[in-house]
Amino acid sequence: MAKIDFGGTVEEVVMRDEFPLEKARKVLSDKVVAVLGYGVQGPAQSLNMKDNGINVIVGQWAGDKVCWEKALQDGWEPGKTLFSLEEAAERGTIVQYLVSDAAQMMTWPQIKPHLKEGDALYFSHGFSIVYAGQTGVVPPEFVDVIMVAPKGSGASVRANFLVGSGINSSYAVHQDYTGRATERTLAIGIAIGSGYLFPTTFEKEVHSDLTGERGVLMGALAGIMEAQFATLRKNGHTPSEAFNETVEELTQSLIRLVDQNGMDWMYENCSATARRGALDWRHRFREAVMPVFEELYESVVSGEQTRIVLEANSAPDYKEKLDAELREMRESEMWRAGAAVRALRPENWGK
């Protein structure tokens, strides 16, 4: 493992040159990887492995017409490489459990009987294992329980793979029955297209993931944007101006500078006025949101967020309520303005 200094703390990471694809293929040469679920991560991970020469099959509930049709369009063949969840689990020796967290709770009684001694049960999220008291997902003692968690959406996992860049992923071993669990985990991590892998635990992964999704990555980002847009509109700014100053400049310019060389470099490449104001106001924002993040983290660790997720996602009217919430966001003035602004980008002219 390579030792990398992450801001003063040295961590060990696994690079692709240390664990090359050829080694991953050798480790997985006699394995059948069964990817259960063709929703968010399933398509990307299965297609990447297939392209990398791994023996992959897909398990998907045929009643989900959207996911089943997507699997067909992507080239998976019913009865050959596309099966029901149960049959894929029976055929697999490494079972990738990539249905949603709520679906894992609901389908576990049907999947568990198909796990055989020496199999590996794979996750890309620690949710069901860490909160087993609520999900009921308790693996048998005779299987490896492993995880590779890409730090990005399934779309990013596939897109990065196609351009050859890879995506960074965390990995963990929760249960090592065979004595080969770590090797299997790293092999899968490389096969799905990870650029590098860093170690974690199921607990740390799920605590950081749930906090990040509700915080900076999605929840906080959306909330801060909405607050700034509303403030500008309240003070007489046009929708296009409010959106450009709130979203467009961030996504089309500034965040790319942060990605290249960090926040300080982005500050250095902005005007002196912008730089001074940002340096001053970042402390105010940090102090304002720190109590919110502390409350959020405690809610994650306690299992309260898990309860909310499982209760909401298991409700019979879940899809209708979700559609209504997303429609409210999509039809808000800010995101209607956003659609108009995006249409004005040169790459969209004539579309």
Nearest alpha carbon to residue 238 among 246, 279, 218, 318: 246
- DSSP-derived 3-state class of residue 259: helix
Catalytic residue list contains 125 = yes
Kindly state the tokens that stand for 277. 């104001």
* Cα→Cα distances 40→12, 36, 43, 153, 247, Å: 29, 11, 7, 7, 25
- Residue 311 CA, chain-centre distance (Å), reads 21
Four-point Cα dihedral 131, 158, 248, 293, nearest 10: 20
| Tokens 């965390």, located at residue | 170
Give the bridge partners for 199, in sequence order: 171
| Tokens 């689990």, located at residue | 89
- Residue 157 CA, chain-centre distance (Å), reads 9
Instruction: Say which of 114, 125, 174, 207 is annotated catalytic.
Output: 125
- Measured in residues, the chain has a length of 351
Active site residues: 125
